[in-house]
Amino acid sequence: MLIFTLRRLNLFFFTMLLLTLLSFSLSFLFPGNALLNVSGQINASPEQILLLSESYKTESSIFAQYISYLKHILSGDLGISMSSQTPISVEIADLLPATIELSMVALLLAMAIGIPLGFIAAIKHNKPADNIILSIAMIGYSIPVFWLGLLAILIFSITLPWLPSAGQISLLFEIKHVTGIQLIDILLSDNAYKWQAFQNASAHIILPACVIAVAPGTIFIRLARSSMLEVLETSYIRAASAKGLTFNQIIFHHAIRNSLVKIIRHVGLQFANLITLAMITEVIFSWPGIGRWLIDSIYQRDYTAIQSGLLVLSCFIFIIHILTDFVYAALNPMARDNKHA
């Protein structure tokens, strides 16, 4: 396990190095002055610019510039937004929890629905139930998320006025910002209308989370199906049925556990896909998350925000990736002495 951890840390370090290099080079690739792109100080006076160029070492070699950029990032200074002139680290700290909340709810939904369906499909292999589930999976996998979002709004918010179509919570409720994850904040607060607020916030999150969950959910169906089929072929399952265990006992005691381990390995990979879907869905549902903010900053040519947004989002995805790797290794001893990272 120690070697495994060291390998992962090595990979993590290397990836961070590449990601910061990428985001550092973006300030040169974007149109305009590199110093202004990286700091976002578009209204700075000549004296301030002089100070800035000293702190970012623009006169020195490119390597020294990169080192000073790293120092700025490590001290939490991601520059200020070109359009709103507020520090980007503050904006991201405000917005990222909302995206985490939405994507986590969607991930849980996708797993809770997709994995059992996949298991059912595998158990009824090559029967009508299997074919129906697979066809649904194919359509869910192919459906464009923005279209699905619009249809969901049309059906569930306009034709049947069941669920709200935009925002995170009704404006009537005032929730103090503690963790930033709204549902937890509500439970922590000592508001008299706590439960009404909680209901309202959950009504707001259902629709976008379902829309995001469709595509990853169908991928989980396929993953669960193939891993279950693989497990059912193995000799320990045959041994269990030779011992006289009933089919249900085999499925619940042996097959499900072993196939779940294989699925967990893919959760990290699916997360990147899920974040992409969340970005588009945030735009449609006016969810105050980092995806909508990032797309808005492209419309506004806010290069500082794009640069830092990319860095933060990909770091976040990568951290989730590494975490699932650890969970997988903790559950499956065979993965620990895998030589390749």
Partner 1 sequence: MAREKIYQEEEFPSPFLQLWQIFRQTPVAMVGLGCSIFLIVLAVFSPILTPHSAIESNLDMLLLPPSWDPSGNITFLLGTDDLGRDMLSRLMSGASLTFGLSFVVVVISLVIGVLIGSLSALTSGIKASFLNHFLDVVLSIPSLLLAIIIVAILGPGLSNTLWAIVMVLIPQFVHITRNAVKEEFVKDYVLASRLDGASSLRILRYSVFPNIVEKIISQATLAQSAAILDIAALGFLGLGAPIPLPEWGAMLKSGIDLFYIAPWAVYLPGLAILFSVVATNLVGEGIRHSLKLHKES
With binding defined as CB under 8 A, does residue 147 bind partner 1? yes
Considering only residues 225, 254, 262, 321, which one is a binding residue for partner 1 as defined by CB under 8 A?
321
Q: Does 120 bind partner 1 (CB under 8 A)?
A: no
In contact, 312 and 22? CB cutoff 8 Å: no
For partner 1, the closer CB: 147 or 162: 147
Q: Is 142 in the site for partner 1 (CB under 8 A)?
A: yes
CA distance 176 to 188: 9
Q: Between residues 137 and 201, which has the closer beta carbon with respect to partner 1?
A: 137
The reply to whether 145 sits near partner 1 by the rule CB under 8 A is yes
Is residue 58 a contact partner of residue 65, using CB atoms and an 8 Å limit? yes
Total residue count of the chain as it appears in this document: 341
**197 scored as a contact of partner 1 (CB under 8 A):** no
Using rule CB under 8 A, residue 1 touches partner 1: no
Is residue 144 within the footprint of partner 1 (CB under 8 A)?
Answer: yes
Phi, psi angles (nearest 5°) of residue 87: -60, 135
Yes or no: say if 317 and 103 are a contact pair by the CB < 8 Å rule.
no
Closest contact distance (angstroms) between CB of 8 and partner 1 is 12
Nearer to partner 1, 260 or 272 (CB): 272
Residues near 7 by beta carbon (within 8 Å), at least 6 away in sequence = 341
Whole-number minimum distance, CB 301 to partner 1, in Å?
A: 8
Q: Determine the Cα–Cα distance for residues 257 and 66; give it in Å rounded to an integer.
A: 47
| Per-position b or e across 134-149, b if 16+ CB within 10 A of its CB | beebeebeeeebeebb
From the list 50-58, 92-100, 255-263, 312-320, the region that binds partner 1 by CB under 8 A is 312-320
Instruction: Tell me if 32 contacts partner 1 by CB under 8 A.
Output: no
- Retrieve residue 65's tokens: 């510039």
Within 8 A by CB and 6+ apart from 78, the residues are 72, 87, 88, 89, 92, 304, 308, 311, 312
Does 132 participate in binding partner 1 (rule CB under 8 A)? no
Closest to 92 (Cα-Cα) out of 72, 75, 78? 78
Q: Does 154 bind partner 1 (CB under 8 A)?
A: yes
Q: According to the binding rule CB under 8 A, does residue 245 interact with partner 1?
A: no
Tokens 């074919």: give the residue: 131
One residue of 24, 26, 56, 282 binding partner 1 per CB under 8 A: 26
β-bridge mates for residue 87, sequence order? 80
Stretch that binds partner 1, among 61-69, 89-97, 165-173, 310-318 (CB under 8 A): 310-318
- Shorter beta-carbon distance to partner 1: residue 207 or 251: 207
- Does residue 317 touch partner 1 according to CB under 8 A? yes
**Is the CB of 44 or the CB of 310 nearer to partner 1?**
310
